[in-house]
Chains A and B, each alone.
Chain A
Amino acid sequence: MLRFLLSRFALLVPTFIGVSIVAFAFVRLLPGDPILLLAGERGMSAERYAQLQELYGFDKPIVVQYLIYLKDVLTGDLGTSIVTKRPVFDEFLVLFPATIELAVCAILLATVVGVTVGVIAAVRRGSWFDQGFMGVALVGYSMPIFWWGLLLIIFFSGMLQWTPVSGRISLLYYFPPVTGFMLIDSLLSGQEGAFRSALSHLILPTIVLGTIPLAVIARQTRSAMLEVLGEDYVRTARAKGLGPMRVVGLHALRNALIPVVTTIGLQVGVLLAGAILTETIFSWPGIGKWMVDSVSKRDYAVVQGGLLLIAGVIMLVNLLVDLLYGLVNPRIRH
Chain B
Amino acid sequence: MRKTLTSTLALTALFTGFAMTAEAKTLVYCSEGSPEGFDPALYTAGTTFDASSKPVYNRLVEFKRGTTEVIPGLAESWEVSDDGTEYTFTLREGVVLHSSDTFTPTRTLNADDVIFSFERQLDPENPFHAYVEGASWEYFNGMSMPDLIKSIDKVDDMTVTFVLNRAEAPFLANLAMDFASILSKEYADGLAAGGSASDLNQKPIGTGPFRFVAYQPDAVIRYQAHADYWDGKQPIDDLVFAITTDASVRQQKLTAGECHVMPYPNPADVASLKGNADLQVMEQQGLNVGYLAYNTQQAPCDDSRVRKALNMAINKEAILDAVFQGAGQVAINPIPPTMWSYNDAIEDDPYDPEAAKKLLADAGVSDLSMKVWAMPVQRPYNPNARRMAELIQADFDAIGVKAEVVSYEWGEYLERSKATDRDGAVLLGWTGDNGDPDNFLAVLLGCDAVGGANRAQWCNEEFEDLIQKAKVGTQDERAALYEEAQVVFKREAPWATIAHSIVHMPMRANVEGYVMDPLGGHWFDGVDLVE
Residues of A within 8 A of B (CB): 30-34, 36-45, 48, 52, 55-56, 80, 82-87, 91, 94-95, 150, 153-154, 157-158, 161-168, 170-177, 191-192, 194, 197, 200, 280-283, 285-286, 289-290, 298
Q: Which residues of B contact A290 (CB under 8 A)?
A: 218
Within 8 Å by CB of A167, from B1, B242, B246, lies B242
Cβ contact within 8 Å between A157 and B409: no
B98 in contact (CB, < 8 A): no
B15 touches A191 (CB 8 A): yes
- Given A45-B452, A167-B242, A285-B218, decide whether A174 and B12 contact each other with a Cβ distance below 8 A: yes
> Which residues of A have CB within 8 Å of B219?
167-168, 283, 285
Q: Is the CB of A33 within 8 A of B12?
A: no
> Which residues of chain B come closer than 8 Å to A37, judged between CB atoms?
410-411
Q: Does B408 contact A36, Cβ atoms closer than 8 Å?
A: no
Give the interface size bracket for B toward A. Answer: 35 or more
A86-B198, A164-B1 are known contacts; what are 9 more A-B pairs with Cβ within 8 Å?
A33-B415, A41-B429, A84-B37, A85-B135, A171-B240, A172-B3, A174-B222, A200-B1, A283-B218
B246 touches A280 (CB 8 A): yes
Inside 8 A of A153's CB, which chain B residues have their CB? 249, 252
A172–B8 touching, CB < 8 Å = yes
Residues on A with beta carbons closer than 8 Å to the beta carbon of B11: 172
Q: Cα distance A82–B220 when bound, in Å?
A: 22
Question: Which residue of the partner chain, among B7, B42, B244, contacts A166 with CB atoms under 8 Å?
Answer: B244
In the assembled complex, the Cα of A95 lies from the Cα of B219 at a distance in Å of 10
* Contacting pair B428 A170 (CB below 8 A): no
Question: If A164-B2, A168-B219, A285-B218 touch, does A33 touch B411 (CB 8 Å cutoff)?
Answer: yes
Distance (whole angstroms) from the CB of B481 to the closest CB of chain A: 24
Chain B stretch 398-419: residues in CB contact (< 8 A) with chain A: 408-412, 414-415, 418
A126 to B118, CA, bound (A): 76
- A42 CA / B434 CA spacing, docked (Å): 14
Assess A41 versus B133: contact at CB under 8 Å? Given A94-B217, A174-B15, A285-B217.
no
Q: When each residue 1-19 of chain B gets 1 if its CB lies under 8 Å from chain A and 0 otherwise, what string results?
A: 1110001100110011010
Whether B428 pairs with A41 at a CB distance below 8 angstroms is yes
The answer to whether the Cβ of B141 comes within 8 Å of any Cβ in the partner chain is: yes
In angstroms, how far is the closest chain A Cβ from the Cβ of B442? Answer: 13
The 10 residue pairs across chains A and B that have the minimum distance between CB atoms? A285-B218, A36-B411, A31-B409, A80-B133, A285-B219, A85-B132, A32-B411, A174-B16, A84-B36, A33-B411
Write out the residue numbers on chain A whose beta carbons fall within 8 Å of the beta carbon of B428: 41
Residue of A nearest to B381 (CB): A41
Q: Is the CB of A31 within 8 A of B412?
A: yes
Question: Is B414's CB under 8 angstroms from A283's CB?
Answer: no
> B253 an interface residue at 8 Å Cβ cutoff?
yes
Which of B36, B198, B222, B408 is the most central at the interface, judged by chain A CB atoms within 10 Å of its CB?
B36
User: From residue A190, how far is it (CB to closest CB) to chain B in Å?
Assistant: 10
Q: A83-B36, A171-B242 are in contact. Are A43 and B218 (CB under 8 A)?
A: no
Closest to B10 in A: A172
A282 nearest in chain B by CB position: B249
Per the bound structure, the CA–CA distance linking A35 and B36 in Å amounts to 16
B56 cross-chain contacts in A, Cβ below 8 A: none
Is A40 a contact of B414 with CB atoms below 8 Å?
yes
Known: A158-B256, A283-B244. A55 touches B136 (CB 8 A): yes
Whether B412 pairs with A162 at a CB distance below 8 angstroms is no
Whether, in the assembled complex, B276 has its beta carbon less than 8 Å from a beta carbon of chain A, the answer is: no
Distance, CA A249 to CA B453, complexed state (A): 71
Interchain nearest-CB distance for A149 vs B (Å): 9
Contacts of A91 on B, CB cut-off 8 Å?
Answer: 217
Contact A289/B258 with A31-B408, A80-B133, A172-B11 known, Cβ cut-off 8 Å: no
Residues of chain B within 8 A (CB-CB) of A168 are: 219
A150: chain B residues at CB < 8 Å are 248-249
Residues of A within 8 A of B453 (CB): 41-43
Residues of B within 8 A of A197 (CB): 3
- When distances are taken between beta carbons in the complex, the residues of chain B under 8 Å from A167 are 219-220, 242, 244
B409 — which chain A residues lie within 8 A by C-beta? 30-32
Contact, CB under 8 Å: B256 / A161: yes
Task: Enumerate 10 A-B pairs (CB-CB under 8 Å) in ascending A order.
Answer: A43-B453, A82-B134, A84-B36, A85-B36, A85-B132, A85-B133, A161-B1, A164-B2, A171-B8, A285-B243
